[in-house]
Amino acid sequence: MTILGLSLVEILAVLAVVALVLARWLPPPARRPIALAAGAVFAVCAVLLAVFGVRWQLVPVLAAGGVALAFAGFVLMRARAGRPVRRARWWAALPGAVAGLGLVVAGTGASWALPLPVFPKPPGAYAVGTTVVQWTDADREETATAKAGDQRTVVVQLWYPSSDSTGARQSRYLGRTAEEARIVAAGAAAYLGVPGFTLDEVARAHARSTPEAPVAGGSERFPVVLFSPGLGGVRTQNTAWAEELASRGYVVAGVDHPYDSAVVVLDDGRAVRTRLAATGDDAEDERLAAGWTAVRAGDLSFVLTQLGRMHSGEIQGPLAGRLDLNRAAATGHSLGGAAALQAARQDTRFAAVIVLDGYPRDPVAQPFRQPVLALTHDIGPGEEQDYLSRLTRVLDLSTAASYRLTVPGSAHLTFTDAPLYLPPLPSLIGSAERTAGPRLTSAVTAAFLDTTLRGKGTDLAKTLSTYGELTTFPP
């Protein structure tokens, strides 16, 4: 249990520090017992935090407590020895008290703004298992390197329905091991241009799936959902969404795109960092983005092929005989959404497309035969208005029923896991509470997939319209 991102021990430490700082202003009979009790509680909490690990957010709180405890101890020792105790005048003590309380506010504020992410429990009928695989495409050379014979390699994380409902082990959010999680967090921080310690909590986080759990019993074949993250994003950036879909009976494959994702840790331990960067020239950046999208689209088609080989037993994997490749969706966030659109246009094996706040990067708009769901954030004044018009031009060409849903109060990162751990600023993650974005994304996309891949006879337009401003295509 946490409150404002603080554990019970941390909450007790904060309360003890506040009591120590304010003890000087209490009525005389209460000063000594309050200071003694607060000092004892603070000391115990400090020891426990030292043993189990102190988060950087609590350093200001512990510093304030240490100074307050030292002053209180000095006063108590002099009083016990019978030596005269002279209290500072209130105006002299006030700056120290204000500084101490300021450190407490800074520490608790940092814990609230950058908490340890707590992933929602998947609500579906299945438990969720996960595994990570690495595949190399013998038919494609790696275009991001100059090394001859370097072939394109991708890392893929699978989330799937499982029969293991014990939840005894929970997968790490950012990697297979603690070291991989730290590497990915550091790479993501460097890509975002923020200090590495700001993502310490994310590196420590665990999701809700169980590593290498057995696949759900029976003979049911599960629809497949491929996911491409945003530019610089990593395969796990939509874990809450992936776990919910898996609990509902889908297999989700999140793809790390080496040299594009902020950092990808390969099976041999090498950390491949992004080599993509904008130039500042709009025309050149548009050309580069089209190229990056084409590579990602190729990755998605390759992963779908590999999943087919896993299903047939040609390559090793936990899902042999359990995948329905005739019901496959290409999905993605931001640039990953553009890749999903392009992959579906080029590869007729994809039966549906989901775009999470992205738009097409094809140089020439072309029609789609698959149904498309495009979720977009609430475009504000001064934002790129071409975003919606460009997406609309493409959806207008669709030959299947497609939908564009603009979600009120949302931002670009609303449709990712970011609301669970980034500062709750509306411009960054939207105006809703932390779990609202992941829950909405899961609910909307599950309704779309249930209809398009599973043929559930619901009024999809009516369902989608309850979440925002809906435009259907063709009109």
- Tell me how far CA of residue 6 lies from CA of 9, 14, 45, 452, in angstroms: 8, 9, 13, 42
Query: By mean pLDDT, which of 135-144, 176-185, 207-216, 356-365 is the weakest?
Result: 356-365
Q: For residues 355 and 324, what is the distance between their CA atoms, to the nearest angstrom?
A: 21
pLDDT at 169: 85
pLDDT higher than threshold 70 for residue 79: no
Q: Given pLDDT bands bounded at 50, 70 and 90, which one contains residue 164?
A: confident
First to last CA, the chain: 48
pLDDT at 383: 67
> pTM of this prediction?
0.91
Residues with Cβ < 8 Å from 44, sequence gap 6 or more?
none
The SS3 of residue 407 is coil
Q: Given pLDDT bands bounded at 50, 70 and 90, which one contains residue 73?
A: low
E strands present in 294-426: 323-333, 352-356, 372-376, 402-406
Phi/psi for 184 (5° steps) reads: -65, -40
pLDDT higher than threshold 60 for residue 83: no
Residue entry with tokens 């979600």: 407
pLDDT in tens, 356-403: 999 888 877 778 899 999 999 988 766 666 788 888 888 998 889 999
Strands 352-356 and 402-406 come out as: unpaired
Tokens of 5: 């991102």
Q: Given pLDDT bands bounded at 50, 70 and 90, which one contains residue 89?
A: low
Q: Alpha-carbon Rg of the chain, whole angstroms?
A: 26
Q: What does 267-284 look like in DSSP terms, one character per residue?
A: TTS-EEEP-----S-HHH
Share of the chain above pLDDT 70, in %: 94
- Tell me how far CA of residue 100 lies from CA of 8, 17, 21, 105, 415, in angstroms: 21, 8, 7, 9, 39
pLDDT in tens, 401-456: 999 999 999 999 999 999 999 999 998 999 889 999 999 999 999 999 999 999 98
Across 255-260, average pLDDT = 96
Q: Given pLDDT bands bounded at 50, 70 and 90, which one contains residue 281?
A: confident
Which residues are paired to 353 by β-bridges? Answer: 330, 372
Q: What is the CATH number of domain 127-473?
A: 3.40.50.1820
Q: What is the mean pLDDT of the chain?
A: 90
Chain center to CA of 143 = 28
| Domain range list for the chain | 8-113, 127-473
Q: CA nearest 420: which of 178, 118, 38, 209?
A: 118
